[in-house]
Amino acid sequence: MYAALPIGSFPYASAALASGIPADGTAESPLILSPRDSDLATMTASTAVSSLPVTNLQNQEPSKVWRSTSATDQYVDLVFASDVAINTVAMSAFGRSASLVWRLELYASASDVGTTAAVDSGWQPVWPQSYRHNDADFGPEVALLRVTNSALYRYARVRLSDPGVDVTYIEVGRLAVGAAIQFSVKVDVEGVGLSFVPNDTAEPNGWGQIFTDPRPAQRQFNLPWTAVGQREAVAAAGELGRLRGMGGDVFCFLEPAAVELFHKLSLQGLFVARHDFQTRPLFLTDSDGQTRQAWGFVFNLIQKR
């Protein structure tokens, strides 16, 4: 599927965009990633424009970007404040180049960084299965990369490279690296799911005219879970809500393996309501295999623009 291009010191994959629409992967439950662990990490970059430093990746505003001085063999190193079972990286507000690829590497020690990775995703296209949408006025773009890992690591490197013609730098607005949350069940069938929050303004005058200022609408995810295990509700969802509140962003992917609709079902967003966790009058198998009382809750997320 990919041709190896030995650009720089690392051979990495680069692919033309898919000629058709590839099939979606296996349907999954929504996946949520908090940037909290990577925000507390120490970040350094291979290169950076002085006015657009790598620490901008730890600012939740996607318009505040890190920009490299080269387009190939770039990377962001992270030293976490504590050991983390890293399995996911997400980013937003990156360029729409067809040839942008990235890679996640985890290291057992500081001396291994850049040489011997304990976990390596290999080079992957930023676009899901190399399918890039062409929807107008859509953004910021969001990307997802996952590895199979449950071990604890403190050192990570996110590599990015773009061998495309006329591409001279890499730009990313937000980066999150950490352990994602994925509940054992999907959201309820009767949930609202996806809605749009209009930001347009309309001002009528005394002569029957209406002056408008059209603005892009923000997507909002409304995600109810009627019954999940106590550990999933309290230890996972509850801690996510407690630590992020309504001022801390998260990445949410309703269908992580989607292709054609991936961009519509993914966002960097903020919680817009308080989180109430309620017990249910039934018991079910919890995430650790034990039988416990079920809990329910609702997450409401609005897109960052």
* Average pLDDT over the chain, rounded to an integer: 89
Mean pLDDT of the 217-237 span: 91
For residue 113, being part of any structural domain is answered with yes
**Between the CA atoms of 300, 96, 180 and 110, what dihedral angle is there, to the nearest 10 degrees?**
-140
pLDDT at 213 over 90: no
Provide the pLDDT confidence category of residue 18 given band limits of 50, 70 and 90: low
Provide the pLDDT confidence category of residue 199 given band limits of 50, 70 and 90: confident
pTM, full prediction: 0.90
Most confident of 143-157, 187-201, 203-217: 143-157
Q: Are residues 246 and 267 in the same domain?
A: yes
Mean pLDDT of the 74-87 span: 98
Q: Are residues 36 and 144 in the same domain?
A: yes
How many domains does the structure of the chain reveal?
2
pLDDT at 4 over 60: no
pLDDT at 23 over 80: no
CATH code for position 49: 2.60.120.260
Domain boundary (138, 154, 182) is at: 182
pLDDT at 11 over 60: no
Q: Are residues 35 and 177 in the same domain?
A: yes
Q: Are residues 219 and 281 in the same domain?
A: yes
**Within 10 A of 234 (CB to CB), how many other CB atoms are there?**
15
Q: Are residues 97 and 217 in the same domain?
A: no
Q: Are residues 220 and 105 in the same domain?
A: no
For residue 9, being part of any structural domain is answered with no
Q: Are residues 53 and 93 in the same domain?
A: yes
* Contact residues for 85 (Cβ-Cβ < 8 A; gap 6+): 149, 150, 151, 152, 153, 179
Look up tokens 């630590």; give the residue.
243
Contact criterion met (CB below 8 Å) for 102 and 224: no
Provide the pLDDT confidence category of residue 1 given band limits of 50, 70 and 90: very low
Provide the pLDDT confidence category of residue 192 given band limits of 50, 70 and 90: low
Q: Is the peptide bond before 256 cis (omega within 30 degrees of 0)?
A: no
pLDDT at 123 over 60: yes
Q: 229: domain range?
A: 193-303
pLDDT for position 186: 85
> In which region does residue 93 sit, left (phi positive, over 0), alpha (psi from -120 to 50) or beta (all else)?
left
Q: Are residues 63 and 164 in the same domain?
A: yes
Contact criterion met (CB below 8 Å) for 158 and 89: yes
Instruction: Read off the tokens for 162.
Output: 């773009």
pLDDT at 9 over 80: no
Look up tokens 């690829």; give the residue.
101
Provide the pLDDT confidence category of residue 2 given band limits of 50, 70 and 90: very low
For residue 14, being part of any structural domain is answered with no
Mean pLDDT of the 131-144 span: 89
